[in-house]
Amino acid sequence: MTVPIPATAVPTEHGRTTSTPSILSKAFLLLECFSAEDRVLTFTELVERSGLPKSTVHRLLSRLMSLDIIEGHDRAYRIGMRLFAITTSMPASNLRDLCLPHLARLNAWSGTTVHLAVLRGVRVAFVERLTGRDELPAPKAGDVLPAHGTALGKALLAWLTVEERDGILPDPLPRFTSATITDRTELERQLQAVRHSNIALDLAEWHPGVYSAASALVVHRRQVGAIAVSTRSAAGLTDELKAGLLQTARTLSEGVQARIDAGEAGWTPVEDIRP
């Protein structure tokens, strides 16, 4: 579910390009082979997953290892500490560090899959996922999804102005399941209700059989992220579960606001959310 890295040609349905991609694109193809579930990969696995020739993978690995972007690990490879250090400088990393203990408690209490995400344009970028007892199909950290098809996206879109939404939402709105909201008037009606309640729902609108509720983290009436819980049925989104979600969102919003108001470095976009 990751977004293809721009290359020198148009990507195919499998994320490959119809002509030779740039060296940077090839490097990202290699790096995107790694995930939270697959932290260590062999040379053969990297060739198979990237779709790149063995000689290209060999050259890229040599260069990336010389930069400490990738490191060797017991005849295999993993992400290196230099790349880890770079990623921890992202604002979303600060948000994740603040939220993770609270998300873990929500996950343990509810048994549901719990997400943290931020809005990037018209897409939701997933920052963290804690799997629930049901082990639902769910996006992992780093994945991006269209905002209008998810509870997280609707929770975040609700805190934009109508003009801001008009500037980013596609027309027409794409459909992902039979339940996806594709009517802009209906979507606006839902977003107004979400703005009032801070509870957004995804009733199998992105993936069949997955139902979610989300709440935005709000600072000075601007969203800075959102959290969500997911279940196998709409009935699983109980009032008790929504109340727990809301309380967690309020606690996290207060935590983010305290850090922004104190002027702590790395908490952005400060210019958007200061009073």
pLDDT at 138: 80
Distance (Å, whole) CA 32 – CA 18: 19
To which H or E segment does residue 123 belong?
strand 123-130
In angstroms, the CA 220 to CA 110 distance is 29
Q: Could you tell me the residue ranges of all domains in the chain? A: 23-87, 91-273
Look up residue 231 and give its two tokens: 């279940």
At the top level of CATH, which class does the domain 23-87 belong to?
Answer: mainly alpha
Q: Looking at residue 89, what is its pLDDT? A: 54
The single residue listed with the structure tokens 């594709």 is: 182
pLDDT at position 213: 98
Helices (H), 21-90: 23-31, 43-50, 54-66, 81-87
Backbone phi and psi for residue 123, each to the nearest 5 degrees, phi listed first: -120, 155
Q: From the first residue on, what is the mean pLDDT of each consecutive set of 10 residues in the chain (275 residues)?
A: 40 44 87 84 95 94 92 90 67 82 97 95 92 86 91 97 94 95 96 97 96 96 95 96 98 92 63 41
pLDDT value at position 10?
39
Question: One-letter amino acid identity for 159?
Answer: W
pLDDT of residue 141: 82
Say which residue the tokens 């801001």 belong to.
164
CATH topology for 91-273 is Beta-Lactamase (3.30.450)
- Say how far apart CA 80 and CA 86 lie, in whole Å: 10
Determine contact, residues 233/159, Cβ cutoff 8 Å: no
